[in-house]
Chains A and B, each alone.
Chain A
Amino acid sequence: MIKLENAHIEEFRGIRKLDVDFHRNTFVVSGPNGSGKSGVIDAIEFGLTGQIGRLSGQGTKGLSISEHGPHVDKIKSPDAAFVRLKVFIPEINKSATITRKVSSPRKPKIVPGDDDVKLALAEVAEHPEITLSRREILRFILTEPTKRSEEIQTILRLDEIGEVRSALYSAQNKLQLAHGAANAQVLSGRNTLLSHLQISSLNAADLLKVVNQRRMTLGLAELTEVNSDTQLDSGLSLADKADEFNKRSALRDLTALSEAAKTFADLAKAEAAAMIVDIEKLEFDPALLMALQRRSLIEQGLELTDGPECPLCDKSWDDEEQLRNHLKGKLAKSDEAGKIEKTLLKNGLVLSAASIRIAGLLSPVQKLSASQGDLTFAALLSNWIADFETLKSKLGKVDEIIGLKHRLESGWVQLPAEFSEKLTALTAKVEGKPDQSATVDAQTFLTTAQIRFGDYQATVRKSTAAGIALKRAKVSYEAYCSVLENELNTLYDAVQKDFSGFYREINDDESQFTAKFTPSEGTLDFDVSFYEKGLFPPSAYHSEGHQDSMGVCLYLALMKRLFGSRFTIALLDDVVMSVDSGHRYEFCKLLKSKFPNTQFLITTHDRLWAEQLKSAGLVTSKNSLEFHGWTIETGPLVESNQGIWEEIAAELRKDRVARAASALRRHLEYVSWLLADQLGAMPQFRADGNYELGDLLSSVLTRVKELYGKAATAAQSWGKTNERDAATKKKEILSRAAQTSNVERWAINRAVHYNAWANFAKSDFEPVVSAFKNLLACFRCESCGSWVYVTPRINAESLRCACDEINLNLKPKPK
């Protein structure tokens, strides 16, 4: 797997342009709701996998990367929307850059294009589960057992295992059908042979008795045994073998067919009637029929799926897995249709076996009619046999069965016109032939016996082979299921152990916490203990916050099992929003102690949580980013304190005053918002929290002047004249800077708005930039670069910076 070094995001989702340096470390992006944090997660997920989780799955119908990936102003030019990530691949000790455009999400540009780099990044692309949002947590914890089983199986890639099992099961079913058909052929072949031999059961003694009688007539040596190499007509000359016509046998074949034909109308009558009922159900319920037809189509589609292009409609999906899940979802919706499909096929199988039996009776008569020169009847029988072959193949496919309704209603075995007459005529013709001499009878008996014995042996071999294949399929399926069950049990044991351990680390008040997964046919029950009072579903007694921490713990346990030591990156999108601050601190410790080699990219709307991540040592100021708002024109409003003046200067060098003005505005908005908060400034209260820049900056100026005044007064009271003078000097510098920037007048007069700056000439705007640069410098430490703040926030006692280079006492000496 990989670690992130940096990201460049452009015109993607809610982001216009953003650069983030991750330094391969855990990183936090904080900001209020709607400030664009999740856009960063979306961008990284897209860069790595070509997917955006938020645009797929339940409730996202109609959303797509191509249409909703670009910034809303760039919908018509998706080429402008792209993400470029620099990643480090520990396993090969290489860094690489992957650039992915919304216009071609499946074709990232990877530099260097080394095979090992491409392979590593291709593997990452196969794992969208590196992203966890609260939506996924709910999928694990609060879902029903069948859905949870699916979700967890998906995250652990068990769906692929399920697909192998399903294929093995299908193979077993197909071979079962083939074996059934082969057995029916054996039965048919045996009946034909027995009919000719005139014995009731096929055993060696009876067979040898009737065969040896004829052989003795012909003076041939007796056969003493029967095996697969036995030639019943051995010793006959080729000329003698040429005549297959045996009058008595022929008459028996004709009689057998004639008698059987009387019962054809009743063959598999109940099954045919049941099929008609099922077909009518489909006819009366078009939705059911459509579900069934789609089912068949979707099954074919699943079979043919080999990539992200749908084989049914050519629609391009983000990836093959998404397409497969879509098709599987459709299949699941047609369960009732599935039941009808099953009974139709089951009854069809009975008709199919009957067809084989009829064809077995027709076949010797067809040969007889041909040998006797009745070519018309021979052709009629050939066509009828072919008709049963066609019927047999149709009975194996549901959509074809539906088309057989009329045939089933009118009697699925219809005697062809003139069949009875021609059969009678052929019988009369055979009967009219002179009786064969004992010699000819014996010769033709043996010749026909050998042909039918050979045919029977062939069907037996085919049936044996089909049986062996079926046995292999069964052994294979059972072996797979057995291994799968053992591995899943081991897996769930490991996951529940890790999960419980992680959860206990976060929730030390539940030191006896345990969990239990209970997998059974397609479901996964999940129960957790509640203060040693027993096992209950997670949502039974635990609070929302506890459920959230369960979700994250389960995710971490699953990732540990899935990747082991290769779990190097996870994107956690606002996942502990309901967890209280005490437990979040423990969560930080868990991440730090149990996953020291994993880079977490965490987003949160909670500033306190962002601060906790820092104080717990999970991230540093360098590895954090704060958004303080978002606009459709600018995207997330980010503090870019390090490079803002260089950025503005660069824009001005290119005479792009409007861009420079926009950057200055964004920066001032951020700093004003931050300082108003850190210094306890008091702008006029607004219930919607939508403060204007003028309101904030003006109140910050007032507040800082007040604080410097307080510092000077306090220093004076303690007799610290140097500190008093320093505070007074700072206040004077601030007043001058404020005057130069004219911020107060600007703040009062709303007409002087930043938009006006956009129309300034470069030479007019440069002094504005310089004035604000000097003004903002008054609020930050020259040594550490941090913005000043008061502590404590209520009844402030000192004004400080992060390194304490600025540390002004505000509390005067008690009188």
Chain B
Amino acid sequence: MATLQQEIFDKFLAKLAQSKEFDTDRIQQLRTLLAGNKKPKLDDLVKVFSSATASEKP
């Protein structure tokens, strides 16, 4: 990934890490999904946002 993309990618994930909506696992999932330097598949993104954390599971 070119420098600029990498910078945006890193800062984006760092910003998410400050948000209570994203834990380490979910950020790692996003990192994996976006690291391929290609447009992520919509369903994969939706899955990352929708998967429940341990505390959210009924």
Contacts and interface: CB of A to CB of B under 8 A. Distances in A.
B4 A561 contact: yes
Given A479-B12, A487-B8, A471 B21 contact: yes
Nearest to B34: A164
Most buried by B among A158, A164, A306, A484: A164
Interface string A142-184: 0000000000000011101101101110110011000000000
Contacts of B7: 487
A167 B8 contact: no
A471 B15 CA distance: 15
Contacts of A170: 42, 45
Contact of B8 (A168, A303, A471, A484): A484
Interface in B17-44: 19, 21-22, 26, 30, 34, 37-42
Contacts of B41: 167, 303
Interface stretch (A86-94, A355-363, A461-469): A461-469
A651 B55 CA distance: 82
B42 A171 contact: yes
A125 to B, nearest CB: 14
A480 B16 CA distance: 9
A175 B19 contact: no
Interface in A469-488: 469-473, 475-476, 479-480, 482-484, 486-487
Contact of B22 (A163, A306, A475, A484): A475
Contacts of A564: 3
A758 interface: no
B16 A171 contact: no
A524 to B, nearest CB: 15
B50 A465 contact: yes
Contact of A174 (B5, B12, B37, B46): B46
A283 to B, nearest CB: 30
A480 B12 contact: yes
A562 interface: yes
B46 A175 contact: yes
Contacts of B34: 164
Contacts of B39: 160, 163-164, 166-167, 302
Given A161-B8, A484-B8, A561-B4, A468 B42 contact: no
Contacts of A303: 41-42
A577 interface: no
Interface string A554-582: 00000001101000000000000000000
Contacts of A171: 42, 45-46, 49
Contacts of A161: 4-5, 8
Interface in A250-296: none
B5 A476 contact: no
Nearest to A320: B38
B40 A167 contact: yes
A163 B26 CA distance: 21
A491 interface: yes
Contacts of B40: 164, 167
B2 interface: yes
Most buried by A among B26, B39, B41: B39
B4 A168 contact: no
Interface string A326-360: 00000000000000000000000000000000000
B56 A468 contact: yes
Contacts of A174: 42, 46
Given A161-B8, A461-B58, A483 B15 contact: yes
A505 to B, nearest CB: 25
A486 B11 CA distance: 10
Nearest to A166: B39
A461 B52 CA distance: 11
Given A465-B50, A469-B49, A472-B21, A158 B12 contact: no
A164 B34 CA distance: 8
Contacts of B49: 171, 175, 469-470, 472-473, 476
Contact of A475 (B4, B5, B16, B42): B16
Contacts of A475: 16, 19, 21-22
Contact of B52 (A465, A476, A561): A465
Contacts of B4: 156-158, 161, 487, 491, 561-562
B29 to A, nearest CB: 11
B16 to A, nearest CB: 6
B2 A562 contact: yes
B42 A487 contact: no
Contacts of B8: 161, 480, 483-484, 487
Nearest to B22: A472
Given A167-B40, A175-B49, A303-B41, A479 B15 contact: yes
B11 A483 contact: yes
Nearest to A458: B58
A479 B19 contact: yes
B37 to A, nearest CB: 7
A465 B50 CA distance: 7
A91 to B, nearest CB: 14
A166 B40 CA distance: 10
Given A461-B58, A483-B11, A468 B2 contact: no
A175 B42 CA distance: 11
A408 to B, nearest CB: 28
A461 to B, nearest CB: 6
A171 B43 CA distance: 8
Nearest to B50: A469
Nearest to A172: B49
Contacts of A562: 2-4
Contacts of A302: 39
A562 B7 CA distance: 12
B20 to A, nearest CB: 9
A167 B52 CA distance: 21
Nearest to A470: B49
A630 to B, nearest CB: 38
A302 B52 CA distance: 29
A471 B50 CA distance: 10
B19 to A, nearest CB: 5
A171 B46 CA distance: 6
A272 to B, nearest CB: 28
A171 B8 CA distance: 19
Contacts of A479: 12, 15-16, 19
Contacts of A491: 4
Most buried by A among B38, B50, B52: B50
Contacts of A163: 38-39
Contacts of B2: 157, 562
Contacts of B3: 562, 564
B12 A465 contact: no
A313 B19 CA distance: 43
A480 B22 CA distance: 14
Contacts of B5: 157, 160-161
B1 to A, nearest CB: 8
Contacts of A466: 50
Given A167-B45, A468-B21, A483-B8, 5 more contacts: A468-B56, A469-B46, A469-B49, A471-B21, A479-B16
8 contacts: A157-B2, A161-B8, A170-B42, A469-B50, A473-B46, A475-B16, A484-B8, A487-B7
Interface of B: 2-5, 7-8, 11-12, 15-16, 19, 21-22, 26, 30, 34, 37-42, 45-46, 49-50, 52, 56, 58
Per CB-CB distance, the 10 closest pairs between chain A and chain B, nearest first, are A163-B39, A171-B45, A469-B50, A472-B49, A479-B15, A469-B49, A483-B11, A483-B12, A472-B21, A473-B49
